[in-house]
């Protein structure tokens, strides 16, 4: 990804945080390998779909492997901002559908959502004087 100058801010469409291989292994003790495979699939799909491409219409997609997202059950856990939607039981196959249907298609997959944690209206980003984000 190229670096942006201060005069060309990077617009972020989504930030995906995956608790895939947590240190204390609280959310996915059954099979830690599923978390790692999910992370590998997530990284590959973000690239394949061009979601990190600078200047992508609607903004780019960031991805982060988290150590714990304070859900600690029903893992592996995927948290998607800005919606604050938490998916549980993530697998490589679910990652594919979540990216295509939710991140690209704006249609969350209700059956896999284990929690919603939206921002308060008052904590949403401030607008600049010109009205642009």
Site for ligand FES (CB under 6 A): which residue of 72, 100, 109, 114?
72
Contacts of 1 by beta carbon, 8 Å cutoff, 6+ apart: 52, 54, 60
Applying CB under 6 A, among 18, 19, 51, 80 the residue interacting with ligand FES is 19
CB closer to ligand FES out of 24 and 127: 24
3-state secondary structure labels for all residues of the chain: CCCCCCCCCCCEEEEEEEECCCCCCCCCCCCHHHHHHHHHHHHHHHHHCCCCCCCCCCCEEEEEEECCCCCCCCCCEEEEECCCEEECCCCHHHHHHHHHHHHHCCCCCHHHEEEECCCCHHHCCCCCCCCCC
Please report whether residue 71 would count as binding ligand FES according to CB under 6 A. Answer: yes
Q: By rule CB under 6 A, what string of x and - marks binding of each residue 29-68 to ligand FES? A: ---------------------------------------x
Which region among 2-10, 20-28, 93-101, 111-119 touches ligand FES (by CB under 6 A)? Answer: 20-28
85 lines the binding site for ligand FES (CB under 6 A):
no
CB 85 within 8 A of CB 79: yes
Task: Tell me: does residue 90 bind ligand FES (CB under 6 A).
Answer: no
Binding mask 114-133 for ligand FES (x = CB under 6 A): --------------------
Contact positions vs ligand FES (CB under 6 A)? 19, 22, 24, 26-27, 68-72, 75, 77
């Amino acid at each position: 990804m190229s670096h942006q100058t201060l005069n060309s801010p990077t617009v972020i469409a989504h930030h995906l945080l995956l608790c895939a291989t947590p240190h204390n292994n609280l959310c996915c003790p059954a099979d830690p390998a599923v978390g790692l495979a999910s992370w590998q699939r997530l990284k590959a799909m973000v690239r394949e779909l061009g979601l990190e491409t600078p200047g992508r219409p609607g903004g780019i997609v960031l991805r982060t492997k988290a150590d714990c997202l304070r859900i600690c059950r029903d893992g592996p856990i995927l948290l998607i901002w800005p919606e604050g939607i938490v998916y549980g039981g993530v697998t490589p196959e679910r990652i594919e559908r979540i990216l295509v249907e939710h991140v690209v298609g704006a249609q969350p997959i209700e059956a896999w959502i284990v929690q919603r944690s939206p921002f308060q209206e008052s904590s949403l980003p401030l607008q600049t004087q010109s009205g642009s984000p």
